Structure 1
Amino acid sequence: MSRTSGARIIAAIFVVVFLIVIFRNEESAGTALLPYLPVLPSQRLSKPSSLLQAWIQDRTVLSEKSWKKSVELRDQMAKQHPDNPKVPFFPTDFLRFPFTIWDFFPATWTCPHDIQRVGRLGDGGKWVCGMNIYEGLPAPTAMQENVEIREAPIKAQEGLVIYSFGINAESSFEAEMLERVPSARIWGYDFSVDAWGPQIAAAYRDRTFFKKVGLGKEDKHESSPPFWTLPSLMKENNHTYIDILKIDIEGSEYDALDTMMDAFDNTRSASGNSVLPIGQVMIELHLGDGVHFDSRDAGSNVDFERFRNWWERLERMGMRPVWMEINLFAVTLGNSKSDPRCTEYVWVNAKDERSVLWKL
């Protein structure tokens, strides 16, 4: 046998062994050939490796460090403006103060899982931290066996609990969540429409619940339109926890979440942290423009001091920004709202032991 032929045989054997190792590592879903590079948990996994858990914890520590640095910079930048704490949202002297309000609140806490866009592109779709985790959750038994609820009732807190406020006939986000997450059940609320948008297929309607009410600061159930607070809705539904909260209520989000924080201000996690019973929030924040075009435009009353105090209270209760997307819809229309006054944020509750995002 020539040296060339021998070398080819050795090379072929090496390739075969290499492929076998790859496939074995892929099937075991532990770590690949490089043990220091963990893989994300797949739906086939029953228990992710301890290495992956340690990696998630390390990333969480680094994210917290990055977020704390941004909080320090926020304070420094605000103090540089002579109008602090009433800093203008959009300073007119941009050469001296080159920032907008959104620069004070960047998304500096990194989601340790995948982050995917769910729903249509543009207005209506939302970014979700840990979509692969949600997809891997088992559905309650009644859902798996496709039996009537009255025969095998699903407990209130079973499955992935999602609340959606502000529907406006656009339910592409909810439709995709129902399709991709077998355990998802969604409660929707909007006083301006009569039902979900047409995007939700009939096959998934039994996992949705709709009520024509608004989300408010106070319970006004007999008013027209009626308003409910978030704690009252949770109590009515026998929920003690919301996995995903989606909010787009045209400026009323400040008062609504104030009430939520008031209700759970004394609630402590196992580690002693004051936390909200919410795993993740997709929210559009509205600033208004100083003129009440709509009676619901509560954001018109928000200034920098109010916004910052509200935001930092949420941070103290565990919320961290992992994604932001400035909504340029009003700017594009070319009307009087020339500044980007609406921004989509995604917050995760980094201090919450109940979140499925941290139960790997």
Structure 2
Amino acid sequence: MLKLPLLGQRHPRYTIALAGLVLCAYWFLSSSAPPLRPVHYNANHELKARLEREERKYRDMVPQRHDLITKFGPTPAQVVMFPPDQDPWPAYTVWDFFPPVFNCPHELDRLGALGDGGKWICGISRIQDKPDCVVYSFGIDSSYSFEAVLLQSTRFCQVWIYDSTKGDGAKNHIPRSLRHRVHFAKLALGATDRHGASDDPKRWTLRSLMSENGHSHIDFLRLDVEGWEWETFRAIIRDFTMERGSPANGASVWGVPEREGVLPFGQLQIELHVWNQRFQDFLEWWELLEIAGLRPFHNEINLIYANYNRGSGVELAEYSFLNVRGENAFIKDYVPVEPETDHVARENEQEAERLQRIRHGAGPARR
């Protein structure tokens, strides 16, 4: 019987050639680009109907607010924010006039720490694979749990964190593996731009910051600005919307003149501080948010602050709003695109194709 020589018994040239072939194959396979992961997105075919139903329900609530004002006012100027514990005992606080009756049309999640720091958001599945996801967060203090969990729950979201007392050193509060998607700056959000060399703290309007960063939209806007939210948000609405010109329209169902235009964010998470606020001022501010397309879908009264300040009212509350105008990802289905962050994988794939052409030729011409 004919015996074939073992590998080591062959001519050394065959052994060297075989080893070279194995090494080349290994190098080629290991240098090939990994397959691009597709952007995952589930369209919500019931979304339009859900939003229309919630909008009808919310508008039906507004006359009830007016009735409550008439009952305890009878005008907004006569409504007390937190009635005293004495006869008569009206069963309300200011928060009862502004219930979050607009249901989130997606899943509802609380991101971040229990107690102070966590935020309620609507439909994180809508942006977990969104290539151009943008988050702005103002007023961090010492709690970064919401931002950290949001980063962990999404693939591409970039988070801009702003605080007038903290700078880039705050990045140590974010897990190291996520810091490449976080941007820090020591500044405050304001109603006007005041960020010259002598301004301290430096204040930027939202419009100026977005222009500086090259952004046309924000998916999540989070604010905890310790009482500056009133004038700041009036400025945001003034900068991005405008009152309709015809005075014949008069006041809308909301009680303030109609406005046109779209606010540049999909959701707003904000802590309201009603220190020294009068009911009529709060009502006018709230109606401006409504007329601009914001609908509250969740609130959380800050009972930690109430416990520390038992002599005052329950003056702090977290609210989450959905923007029902425009084309944001929470109210419109969108077509996913290949994320720009995969450009390295694309370059690797192109390089692998180039090497293959060098080794094996360009192949037959396409017709």
| Alpha-carbon distance change, 103 to 183 in structure 1, aligned in 2, over 3 angstroms | same
Distance change (3 Å), C-alpha of 1:80 and 1:244: same
Residue 199 of structure 1: how far off its partner (Å) = 3.6
Counterpart amino acid of residue 118 in structure 1: L
Structure 2 unmatched runs, 5+: 1-37, 245-258, 335-367
Residue 316 (structure 2) pairs with residue 342 (structure 1): yes
Instruction: Name the CA shift for 1:193/1:91 in 2 (closer, same or farther; >3 Å).
Output: same
SS class of match (1:280): strand
Deviation at 1:95, TM superposition (A): 4.5
**2:211 is aligned with 1:235:** yes
Alignment of 1:165 with 2:163, yes or no, is no
Alignment partner, residue 322 of structure 1: 297
The share of aligned pairs that are identical, in percent, is 35
Contact 1:267–1:275 under 8 Å retained in 2 = no
The CA deviation string for residues 142-179 of structure 1, in whole angstroms up to 9 with x for no partner, is: xxxxxxxxxxxxxxxxx211000001121111111111
8 A contact 2:221–2:269 mirrored in 1: yes
Rg comparison, structure with higher value = 2
- Residue 282 in 1 paired to residue 269 in 2? yes
CA deviations over 1:254-306 (Å, ceiling 9, x no partner)? 111111111111399xxx95321110000000011xxxxxxxxxxx3x21111
Structure 1 residues 71 and 103, CA, compared in 2 at 3 Å: closer, same or farther?
A: same
- Determine the structure 2 residue equivalent to 1:150: none
Matched, 1:225 2:225: no
2:268 aligned counterpart, secondary structure: strand
Partner of 1:102: 95
1:341 and 1:47, CA in 2 relative to 1: closer, same or farther beyond 3 A? closer
Taking the TM superposition and a 5 Å limit, the aligned residue runs for 1:154-303 are 159-194=132-167, 195-196=169-170, 198-222=172-196, 223-266=199-242, 273-288=260-275, 300=276, 302-303=277-278
> Corresponding residue for 1:36?
none
1:355 aligned residue (329, 344, 352): 329
Distance in structure 1 (CA, Å) of the matches to 2:104 and 2:330: 13
| More displaced stretch, 214-223 vs 246-255 | 214-223
Shift of 1:219: 1.2
C-alpha distance in structure 1 between counterparts of 2:87 and 2:206, whole Å: 39
Unaligned runs of 5+ in 1: 1-42, 140-158, 289-299
User: Per-residue deviation at 1:81?
Assistant: 2.2
Deviations 1:158-205 (A, max 9, x none): x21100000112111111111111110011111122343644111111
RMSD: 2.2
SS of the equivalent of 1:243 reads strand
Q: Which amino acid aligns with 1:259?
A: A
> Shift of residue 335 of structure 1?
4.6
What secondary structure does 2:110 align onto? strand
Distance in 2, Cα, partners of 1:81 & 1:331: 24
TM-score normalised by L of structure 2: 0.71
Partner in structure 2 of residue 296 of structure 1: none
- State the SS of the aligned residue for 1:358: coil
**What SS does the aligned partner of 1:97 have?**
coil
Q: Secondary structure at the match of 1:249?
A: coil
Count of aligned positions: 278
- CA deviation digits over 1:96-146, x for unaligned, max 9? 521111000000101010010101111111011001222243x4xxxxxxx
- Residues 1:116 and 2:92 aligned together: no
Partner of 1:251, secondary structure, is coil
For 1:18, the equivalent position in structure 2 comes to none
- Normalised to the residue count of structure 1, the TM-score between the two structures is 0.72
Larger relative contact order (Cα-Cα within 8 Å, sequence gap ≥ 6):
2
| Distance in 2 of aligned mates of 1:334 and 1:324 | 20
Return the alpha-carbon distance in structure 2 between the equivalents of residues 213 and 248 of structure 1.
Answer: 13
Residue of structure 1 equivalent to 2:67? 76
SS at match of 2:195: coil
CA distance in 2, matches of 1:264, 1:218: 14
Contact conserved, 1:274 with 1:316, CA < 8 A, in 2? no
User: For residue 59 of structure 1, what is the aligned residue in structure 2?
Assistant: 50
Q: What amino acid is aligned across from residue 90 of structure 2 in structure 1?
A: F
Separation in 2 of the partners of 1:237 and 1:94? 55
